[in-house]
């Protein structure tokens, strides 16, 4: 069995590294800058720090459910991570606003599912996902508004 802190580092490296790699692969400037955006669109500089913090929290939550052997919650954790990594590829990479919104709504559902799964088994893991749920709901609203305006 691996040392829990090594596994924690791996979970965080996976989430932060995966999110960072996708950020490097997809071009987020030109096309996105030319889109009509709602008044509640945050400044561009905010996305990196917010996602950096969220990816650390997501990694810690995944590690926590792994550590207690909650395989059901861990499967949901992997599902949300796959959806999370798919969204920027669809939105920024393929410029598919509506399919990206569908993925974002599925991501939000997976986050809520993880919250339900972990609320009674590992409350701290669930609490780590609350800011992620809030940001994803906001991102879905923003994605929907961008679709509506464009």
Reading the chain (150 residues) residue by residue, the pLDDT tens digits are 579 999 999 999 999 999 999 988 888 778 999 999 999 999 989 999 999 999 999 999 999 999 999 999 999 999 999 999 999 999 999 999 999 999 999 999 999 999 999 999 999 999 999 999 999 999 999 999 999 999
Q: Centre a 10 Å sphere on the Cβ of residue 95 and count the other Cβ atoms it contains.
A: 12
Residue 2 confidence (pLDDT): 78
Residue 44 confidence (pLDDT): 87
Q: Is residue 6 exposed (0-12), middle (13-18) or buried (19+ Cβ within 10 Å)? A: exposed
Residue 1 confidence (pLDDT): 56
What CATH class does 4-149 carry? mainly alpha
The distance from CA 48 to its chain's CA centroid, rounded to whole angstroms, is 12
Closest CA to 128 of 8, 23, 48, 37: 8
Residue 106 confidence (pLDDT): 98
* Domain boundaries defined on the chain: 4-149
* Residue 66, CB-side half-sphere exposure with 13 Å CA sphere: 20
Helix (H, G, I), strand (E, B) or coil at 59: helix
């Amino acid at each position: 069995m691996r040392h829990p802190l090594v596994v924690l580092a791996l979970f965080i490296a996976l989430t932060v590294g995966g999110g960072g790699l996708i950020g490097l692969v997809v071009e987020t400037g030109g096309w996105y800058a030319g889109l009509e955006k709602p008044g509640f669109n945050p400044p561009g500089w905010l996305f990196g720090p917010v996602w950096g913090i969220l990816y650390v929290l997501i990694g810690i939550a995944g590690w926590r459910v792994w550590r207690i052997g909650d395989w059901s919650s861990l499967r949901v954790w992997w599902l949300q991570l796959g959806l999370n990594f798919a969204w920027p590829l669809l939105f920024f990479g393929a410029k598919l606003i509506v399919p990206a919104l569908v993925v974002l709504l599925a991501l939000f559902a997976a986050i809520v599912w993880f919250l339900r799964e972990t609320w009674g088994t590992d409350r701290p893991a669930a609490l780590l996902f609350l800011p992620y749920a809030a940001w994803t709901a906001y991102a879905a609203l923003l994605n929907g508004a961008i679709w509506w305006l464009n």
